[in-house]
Amino acid sequence: MITPAPATDGRGFFMPELPEVECLARALREEMLGGQVTSVTFLRKDLREAMPMDVIRAALVGAPLRRVWRRSKYLLMETEYGTAILHLGMSGQLLSMDGPTPVKTHTHVIFGLKRKGSSAAPQNDDGGARNVYLHFIDPRRFGRLTAVPAGTDLSAHPWFKDLGPEPLDVTGEALANHLWQASRGRSVAVKAFIMNGAMVVGVGNIYASESLFLAGIRPARAAGRVTRVEYGVLAESIQKVLAAAIGAGGTSFRDYLHSDGSEGSYALQLNVYGRTGQVCRKCLGPVREMRHSNRATFFCGACQK
């Protein structure tokens, strides 16, 4: 098993992608669902943009967390009052801690919850429930946090309205049809096309490279020249790669919930990403690297047409 390098933006930060955010949502559901939100503490007013602090508090505080889910790379936390929408940006993390302190250098928001008491959980002197504090840490501050009141149509929200379909919520057939139709007449490279969130969400650089390898399609080919049959294979490859990454806990996560572990495993076997000059697992030729729009693209010149 080859251990790939973690995905970073070149400056040492990992970038949370769809699989990592999905794993985070699942972990939060397990740990937090049903817990009463007791506080939201802001240690600064803005991340990528100003955070509407009153709106966020009004949406969460005083009610149990009844739903936690993911849309694209956004994490959504819902109570009966409203829904908070959080994006980890390029370097964000959520850490689950026992207290509001210690506060790390780049901790910007702390969500306090009183977990539902269970006989298995350690008991505190606060009535049988245990407090949990979710620390939102983001050194580069590309993260985002906002909230909307209950009843808001999220699909019309500015952060969501232009997003394409969720690749794992539709059939391979439907995804293939969508990509094929949307790409007719387009000269943009197919890799850039599938990485465009308006076409389909969640296909980051690693997953685009790996999906195109599995589908045998060169990343630089014009999206409009990829056939319907090829989009069929590509759609299934995208689903396979993302599902495998979710199963492996995400390819690039170090610690998303607990500071002490839950290491995002690097167990996903990558075929081309980060393997420049190494041997292609299919044909034993060299894996090649190109740069597209300032992003590294990896492929096998023999296996991908």
Active site (catalytic) residues: 16-17, 73, 295
Using CB under 5 A as the binding rule, whether residue 288 contacts Zn ion is answered as no
Using CB under 5 A as the binding rule, whether residue 245 contacts Zn ion is answered as no
d(C-alpha 11, C-alpha 27), whole Å? 27
- Residue count, binding to Zn ion (CB under 5 A): 7
Tokens of 40: 């939201």
Of 91-99, 187-195, 208-216, 280-288, which part binds Zn ion (CB under 5 A)? 280-288
- Residue 149: cis peptide before it, omega within 30 degrees of 0: no
Find the distance separating the first CA and the last CA of the chain, reported in whole Å. Answer: 27
Q: How far is the CB of 214 from Zn ion (least distance, A)?
A: 11
Number of helices (H), then strands (E), in the chain = 6, 10
Q: How far is the CB of 156 from Zn ion (least distance, A)?
A: 45
d(C-alpha 198, C-alpha 13), whole Å? 25
Amino acid at 72: S
User: In the range 25-84, which residues lie near Zn ion by CB under 5 A?
Assistant: none
d(C-alpha 28, C-alpha 213), whole Å? 33
Contacts of 81 (CB under 8 A, 6+ apart): 58, 59, 60, 62, 63, 149, 150
Q: Which of 2, 3, 283, 293 binds Zn ion (CB under 5 A)?
A: 283
Q: How far is the CB of 302 from Zn ion (least distance, A)?
A: 5
Specify the residue, 121 or 302, whose C-beta has the smaller distance to Zn ion.
302
Of 24-32, 104-112, 141-149, 278-286, which part binds Zn ion (CB under 5 A)? 278-286
Specify the residue, 37 or 280, whose C-beta has the smaller distance to Zn ion.
280
Using CB under 5 A as the binding rule, whether residue 280 contacts Zn ion is answered as yes
Specify the residue, 180 or 213, whose C-beta has the smaller distance to Zn ion.
213
Specify the residue, 114 or 275, whose C-beta has the smaller distance to Zn ion.
275
d(C-alpha 185, C-alpha 41), whole Å? 50
| C-alpha to C-alpha distances, 78 to 137, 149, 258, 262, 286, nearest whole angstrom | 20, 10, 22, 24, 48
Using CB under 5 A as the binding rule, whether residue 270 contacts Zn ion is answered as no
Using CB under 5 A as the binding rule, whether residue 302 contacts Zn ion is answered as yes
Q: How far is the CB of 213 from Zn ion (least distance, A)?
A: 8
Q: How far is the CB of 65 from Zn ion (least distance, A)?
A: 47
Nearest to 77 by CA among 126, 24, 129: 24
Binding site for Zn ion (CB under 5 A): 280, 282-283, 285, 300, 302-303
